[in-house]
Amino acid sequence: MAWPTRSFGWPGRERAGGVGLAAIVVGAALIVGAVLAGCQMVPPGPTVRPSPSAVERARFVADGIAFEYPTTWQRLDVRGHTSLSDTVVAFIGDSAPPCRAPCDLDALQLAPGSLLFLVTRYASPVPRDATDLIKHPSTTVAGLPAEVEVTVGGRNGADATLTWRFPVPRSVGSWYELAVRVRGPGQDALEAEATAVVGSARADPPLAPLPTDRQARTRILELALDRLAERSTAFRCFPRDVGYRTDVVRQDVWGTALDRPAVVSCAIESVEPTVVGLWKLRLSLRSADGSSGAGMEQLTVWVDAAGAIASMHVEGDIDEG
């Protein structure tokens, strides 16, 4: 702002001397008025949201996952269960519209400047590896490969929807979906807030990498075969390392007695650790008696770090009498 210059009196009455008292008073009044006018012309600044790292947080733990979320978020009382999905938790951030318990998420409409954070667990009808569930990972969540999808609009009146998908730790054929539905204004800040929550996600209990040495592989295979043999004597025919052997079995892999003993070749094809904290065993049984109906069964068995059977999938058909 330019300040007033010295006054030398009225035009045509120029003097070389000092400034009169009246001129000083008038000048001071002009200065004060200009300052006040300038202050009134400055528009109020926008409301600044604190950075995600500066927000006070609470911790959520359930269903094998943990994350930290802002204490300003409100947890909704929601219900949601189907044969292949379960709603784990839902939060609403900032302006919260009324939502009578149990909250009907389908009917919920976001208020301006708010978000909905929804965690859902899904299950495949058949056991599937993480690589089959998450085909195009572009990041990681909770240390696991994850896909991210960003779409314009969305349910609940959202302006944008961000969705992260990643496999459930120590599980086969299950994955989490973390969906964030955002309504502006302040969309960028809301998305950053939700992204920080996703970045805090961890497996609970923590997911430790499995050892890859041969001794660990042999140990887990022995534990798994012993557990499987408790269900069916057919698993006694398998060797205790990668390879195969021929033996006579009197039960199928489900523990059902056969009409007659069958000669089979039992093979351990591979024993590998997976990203979800389970060992993956590939086994096969092939009829070895030369019968015309000879076939093969391929078994995939997932085992936890203690040797407990997490899941088993059988493909193919073998004539075992």
Question: 289 falls in which pLDDT band (50, 70, 90)?
Answer: low
* 292 or 108: which leads in pLDDT: 108
Dihedral sign from CA coordinates of 102, 124, 203, 51: negative
* Sequence-ordered alpha helix ranges (H) in 200-259: 214-231
Phi-psi region of 219 (alpha: psi -120 to 50; beta: other; left: phi over 0): alpha
User: pTM, whole model, 2 decimals?
Assistant: 0.77
**What is the reported pLDDT for 17?**
40
Q: By C-alpha distance, which of 44, 72, 41, 43 is closest to 57?
A: 72
CA end-to-end span of the chain, whole Å?
100
Mind listing the pLDDT tens digit for each residue in 247-261?
Answer: 999 999 999 999 999
Asked whether the predicted pLDDT for residue 240 surpasses 50, the reply is yes
**What is the reported pLDDT for 149?**
96
d(CA 122, CA 54): 33
Question: 12 falls in which pLDDT band (50, 70, 90)?
Answer: very low
Q: Residue 29 — φ and ψ, nearest 5°?
A: -65, -40
Per-domain boundaries in the chain: 52-203, 214-317
Mind listing the pLDDT tens digit for each residue in 14-35?
Answer: 333 444 434 333 344 444 344 3
**What is the reported pLDDT for 212?**
83
Q: Give, for 196, the enclosing helix (H) or strand (E).
A: helix 187-199
Specify the amino acid at residue 151.
T
Instruction: Let me know: does 148 contact 164? Beta carbons within 8 Å.
Output: yes
Q: What is the rounded average pLDDT of the residues 224-243? A: 95
d(CA 118, CA 120): 7
Tokens of 193: 């807030």
**What is the reported pLDDT for 253?**
92
Q: What is the C-alpha R_g of the chain? A: 35
Residue showing tokens 């409409």: 109
Q: What is the rounded average pLDDT of the residues 131-141? A: 94
Would you tell me which CATH number, out of the four given (3.40.50, 3.40.1000, 3.40.630, 3.30.70), belongs to the domain 52-203? 3.40.1000
Mind listing the pLDDT tens digit for each residue in 47-104?
Answer: 445 565 567 999 999 989 999 999 999 999 998 888 899 999 999 997 666 788 888 8
Residue 200: how many CB atoms within 10 A of its CB? Answer: 17
For 142, the 3-state DSSP assignment is coil
* 277 or 1: which leads in pLDDT: 277
Instruction: Let me know: does 61 contact 204? Beta carbons within 8 Å.
Output: yes
d(CA 259, CA 286): 17
Percent of the chain, pLDDT > 70?
Answer: 79
Q: What residue ranges in the chain does DSSP mark as E strands?
A: 57-62, 65-70, 74-75, 81-82, 85-94, 114-123, 139-141, 144-152, 160-167, 174-183, 202-203, 243-251, 257-273, 279-287, 296-303, 309-317
**What is the reported pLDDT for 16?**
38
**What's the count of helices (H) and strands (E) in the chain, helices before strands?**
4, 16
Least confident of 32-36, 262-266, 314-318: 32-36
Q: Residue 182's beta-bridge partner residues?
A: 115, 160
**What is the reported pLDDT for 32?**
36
* 237 or 289: which leads in pLDDT: 237
Instruction: Let me know: does 162 contact 156? Beta carbons within 8 Å.
Output: no
Asked whether the predicted pLDDT for residue 144 surpasses 90, the reply is yes
* 241 or 100: which leads in pLDDT: 241
d(CA 198, CA 191): 11
Dihedral sign from CA coordinates of 202, 204, 208, 209: negative
